[in-house]
Amino acid sequence: MTTIKKLFIANRAEIALRIVRTARRMGIATVVPIHSHDRFGPALAEADETVEVFGTPAVAAWLDIPGMIRAAIDSGCDAIHPGYGFLSENAAFSKAVADAGLIFVGPTAQVIELMGDKIRARRFAVTQGMPVTPSADEATDPATFEKRATAIGFPLLVKGAAGGGGKGMQIAHLAEDLAHAISLARSESLRYFGDGRLFAEHFVEQPRHIEVQVFGDTHGNVIHLGERECSIQRRFQKLIEESPAPALPAELRDRICEAAVQLASAAKYVNAGTVECIVSPDGDFFFLEMNTRLQVEHPVTEMVTGLDLVELQLRVAQGEALPLKQANVHFSGHAMECRILAEDADAGFVPDTGKVLLLHCPTGPGVRFDCGVTQGAPVTADFDSMLAKLVVHGADRTLAISRMRSALAETAMLGVTINNDFLSRVLQHPAFARGETDTGFLERHKADLAPALLTEAERQLLLAVAASAAPDISATRIPEPYASMGAWHN
Amino acid sequence: MAQLKKLTSKMTTLQFSDEPDMRHQVQVRTEAVYVDGTPIKIRQSAAGTFVGTLDGRTERLRAVAHGDTIYVQLRGRSIQVNRVDPTRASASGAASGAGASHAPMPGVVVSVLVAVGRQAKKGDALLVIESMKLQMTISATLDGEVAELPLAVGQTFQRNDMLVRLINPGDAA
Amino acid sequence: MSRIVSKIDTASAGYKKNYAAMTQKVEALQAKVHKARYERPERDLERLQRQKKLTVRERLNLLLDPGTPFLEIGTLVANKAYEGEVHGAGQVSGIGIIHGREVLIHADDPSIKGGAWYPLSIKKIVRTLDIAIENRLPVIHLCDSAGGFLPLQSDLFPDKHAAGRIFRNQCMLSKMGVPQIAVVLGHCTAGGAYIPALCDYSVIVRGNGGVFLGGPPLVKAATGEIVTAEALGGATMHTTVSGTCDYAADDEPHAIAIARDIFANTTPITKQTIDRVEAEAPFYDPKELYGIVPTDWKTGFDMREVIARVVDGSNFHEYQPDYGTTMICGYARIWGCKVGILANNGVLFNDSSLKAAHFMRLCDRDRTPLVFLQNITGYMVGREYEERGITKDGAKMIMTQVGCTVPKFTVIVGGSFGAGNYGMCGRAFDGRFLWMWPQSQIAVMGAEQAANTLADVKIRQLQRKGHELDAEQIAAIREPVLASFEAESDAYHSTSEMWDDGILDPVDTRNALGMAIVSSLNAPFGEMGYGVLRL
């Protein structure tokens, strides 16, 4: 057991702040990187120290393994938390951190490597008896890849082997789409992960994305903390996540969770991880991939279990045994998360840039807002477009939806276009209320989700407020006695 | 002693960002804000926060201005409004004859840089004329297609003669 | 100055009776004003919409600073003429505020008979420009007129103060350095074309605006040439070829925005300084004026009570309080400006006339503007008074009054009869503004008196011929005279003929005076001096 005294957070924006807060509660000092293009993060003011990092483009600083480690060592840290994204699933980083004598808050490099390669991960899952969709690995025989893929049947999902986070994936609905899908998937994978290896798998139509939060410690304990449903996606990226999964039969849920625990156990998994599956409309589930890091949507699990997952991560990293057994994990109520992105959801989800001129964070019972920006922060193409996470808990799903819609209406980040109103329309859709969630939801209901035209009364109110908020450049000072006479007319 | 008000009188011309052709006159007076003549009662409750009524219910709006753009949010929906200079012509206000360029003085055509049917953007040089030892470039006054080019190089013209005419593909010729 | 102590009992029967009667008069006034300003035949409003024209009130809304006052002049001109169809004589005039400065507006009202100029329209325009000259107020002309109303051309064209005087006044304003801007929103034909041409700046709207000495029909009749209004005198031609107009606008809001911008670039005038401090509302409620002034002008009241509800803090410094008590003289402030007030509390006698003359001299010398509150039936008559020189003393009052070069403002609160009108600065005496109250009367003498006098003359005429008249026959002579006199003494008749600048709700008197006084400071006060006083 090694107590962490000072933690370096190799990340930024909302997750950096979230980790800082738990670390502080545990009496651990924190250090967060600062970059010339990232000076407005909310963690920067709350961390104990900041360390300047360098890189062009800016994200390169967070992908610079020696740079991150050096920054951690120079600031006297004894542990590194990678957050999510960036280097969190980079086995080389995990190893380099360990080699540098620092504690890596996450699983070992071997496990990251195993699960990071989607093909290896699939094979491992099969050995553990987890169902997988039929697939074809290009590497087995590149020349016959297209033929073998076609043999699986359409629709097909072509994915990057080293991919994740919804990038490097293309659907081919018909045979004639396949060649194009392969070339797109390859170029995207190369661009995002530097690795163009592909595999193709059967695409389940109207799949539900169900994932299980697992946790392992160095004492051989592995538990699950329930499932999350993340079916509302656009371009394979999650927008809305919730727990428990609506309308998932209890028996199926238990099978998926047990299979996930078994998989993690077999891999001797340590720290936080998520086993992602897809569930077909017929109620079959298939292993998709395992993410060897804390996920963006972890607050959903925290809200239904009442646990602090970052705290568990730090304890496990310190060598402690998990403080609770599976039987002690209790689930209460319903939680939901909406990702607040800087994009125009009504114009094809086109990303927007600008500046957060006015920020208003929603509050209220059961409302948690993990905000990644401060007022005045520029929003540029330098970084990911997710500006905040809005997480809501309620005694049941209906209450959660209602609270979420109310909180979305209250959320304001004026100066850049965000998707809060779009998300509210999704939540309002009767199909969503009925729990008819699958990854095709947004495409299927596209027409219904378009924004309503503004009414004349709304337009007038908006103009009246706009005029009042506009600076007084064009206003004239009216002298007396006219100022006091006001709008008098004989 | 009566309290004297220092009144600033504010008259603004606004347009919704996605409706560049429609202008709204908004006047901020003490008793209400007049939007195209209709009085709308609002009040500012805090920095960037305003309160108004819609369908009989009280609504809170947030607004912030940045230069000539004002961002306003109502019920979670965010709208962009631009302030326009009322002394500038509106986008749709171009007169029907605006695509034609006429000679400002008598002279001769020195060079012709386009041909009939060519697409031109506003500001593109179309031809060069000379008179009184002064050369002048005639440029496109709008985006459009060259419809008429009545004069050739070396031809002379009188003041006000038409030198070139562009038509916008959206207009009737 | 000290606060006037009011002796009015607002619970008394007399007060309540007055209040009810005056309220009725005021409500009738408001109804007439509303009708004159806003009621128009549907088809005229539709025509404006089709032509993409705004109403004159909408134009003013865009032109004037929001939330600022507007002192309208002659709202009810022509209310008793032309069968009552030409509201305000088809014109809107008034003092408004643009970019914080006073501007005189002269606007044609195209929703009334196409904005055509009737004889009273000309009188109103000329009066408006006279006000501009006397007070050095910049003028903005909103031009949109069908031209002169030909059937009445002899009353609007040839005379000295007819149409030509408009253009003469424009030239005088220009000579004096007073800016004028024309906004051509409709046609300026024939003489009307000179309005923009004589202005410093002119803005013209594409499509609707046209400036030509002869319109297309006249041109065709004169030379056979066929030409459209747009080509003959439209915006593009005048702003690019002839240079008659300076700015072309795409629509009316655009044109008005340009006019505001032009005005912002004219140089503000340095005002004449007078004794002026921060304003203070009257101590007594101005609404009480309704209960103080009876609607029957023959019933007396104390003018001090009126003063108390018009001036700042109801403070008044009375001059010679014990001498010439039928004339109240004293200093007060209106919207912070110190003024000298002369107010009638009865008939004018020798002493009251002399007091008035002395007081006016003091005010003129000390550069204090004068405010006359009229309720006068005349000077005292009778042998005793003639022997004491009432005629000489009245003459001295008039001579002094005319000699004053400080601005003078008159409000006819009750009656304004005969020579009393003269001494108290009636219309002929170059006051900057003159207003009536809704129940006030103006005539050479009271209707009863006139009817009796004329009846008397007739009776004696017939008596000399040997005829004796019975009561019925006397009545037959008296009644028509009485009726016509009453009609012609009425405030609405006066305002119809533009013998005044408008009928005020008594409660508006303070603001009207305040705005007028402050506007008048744009012109420097003249050199003092007066004629020979018959001592």
- Return the pLDDT at B94: 44
Which chains neighbour B (Cβ–Cβ under 8 Å, 3 or more pairs)?
A, C
Query: What pLDDT does residue C258 have?
Result: 96
Q: What is the DSSP letter of C514?
A: H
pLDDT digits (tens, 9 = 90+) for B56-109: 999 999 999 998 899 999 999 999 999 988 888 765 444 445 678 888 777 889
Predicted structure pTM score: 0.76
The proportion of chain C whose per-residue pLDDT surpasses 90, expressed as a percent, equals: 82
Q: Is C3 an interface residue toward B (CB < 8 Å)?
A: no
Contacts of C66 in chain B (CB under 8 A): 9-11, 27-29, 34
Catalytic annotation, pick one of A293, A315, A405, A425: A293
Proportion of chain A in helix, strand, coil states, percent, rounded to 5: 35, 25, 35
Put simply, whether A446 touches C (Cβ < 8 Å) is no
Q: How close, in Å, is residue C280 to chain B by CA atoms? A: 5
Pairing mode of beta strands C210-212, C187-189: parallel
Structure tokens at A323: 């403080």
For testing the chain B interface, which of C56, C181, C183, C251 should be mutated: the one with the most B CBs within 10 Å? C251
The verdict on a CB contact (< 8 Å) between B93 and C254 is: yes
The per-residue pLDDT for range C96-145, each reduced to its tens digit, is 999 999 999 999 999 999 899 999 999 999 999 999 999 999 999 999 99
* Assigned token pair, C419: 């020579």
Query: How are strands ordered across the β-sheet holding C71-73?
Result: C71-73, C91-98, C101-108, C139-143, C180-184, C201-205, C247-249
pLDDT band at residue C270 under the 50/70/90 scheme: very high
Those residues of chain A that have pLDDT short of 70 are 165, 473-475
Q: Tell whether B87 is within 8 A of chain A (Cβ).
A: no
pLDDT band with cut points at 50, 70 and 90 for residue B173: very low
C532 pLDDT band, cuts 50/70/90, is very high
Q: A477 catalytic, yes or no?
A: no
What is the three-class DSSP state of C426? coil
The DSSP secondary structure of A58-104, one letter per residue, reads THHHHT-HHHHHHHHHHTT-SEEE--SSTTTT-HHHHHHHHHTT-EE
Over residues C7-52, the pLDDT tens digits come to 999 999 999 999 999 999 999 999 999 999 999 999 999 999 999 9
CB distance from C241 to chain B under 8 Å? yes
pLDDT tens digits along C218-238: 898 888 889 988 889 999 999
Among partner residues A477, A481, A488, which is closest to C100 by beta-carbon distance?
A477
pLDDT tier, B148 (very low <50, low <70, confident <90, very high otherwise): confident
Whether C62 and B25 lie within 8 Å, measured CB to CB: yes
Confidence of residue B157 (pLDDT cuts 50, 70, 90): confident
- For A391-430, b where at least 16 C-beta lie within 10 A, e where not — what string? bbbbeebebbbebbbebbbbbbbbbbbbbbbbbbbbbeee
Contact (CB, 8 A) for C437 and C506: yes
C505 vs A contacts (CB less than 8 Å): 490
User: What pLDDT, on the 0 to 100 scale, is given for residue B98?
Assistant: 60
CA distance A484 to chain C (A): 9
Contact between C526 and C402 under an 8 Å Cβ cutoff? The reply is: no
Supply the pLDDT for residue A473: 60
More confidently predicted of C434 and C419: C434
pLDDT of residue B4: 38
Cα A306 from Cα A328, distance rounded (Å): 12
Q: Does C261 touch chain B (CB under 8 A)?
A: yes
Nearest CA in chain A to C102: A482
Contact C67 B89 (CB under 8 A): no
pLDDT tens digits, A283-336: 999 999 999 999 999 999 999 999 999 999 999 999 999 999 999 999 999 999
Q: Cβ separation of B35 and A482 shorter than 8 Å?
A: no
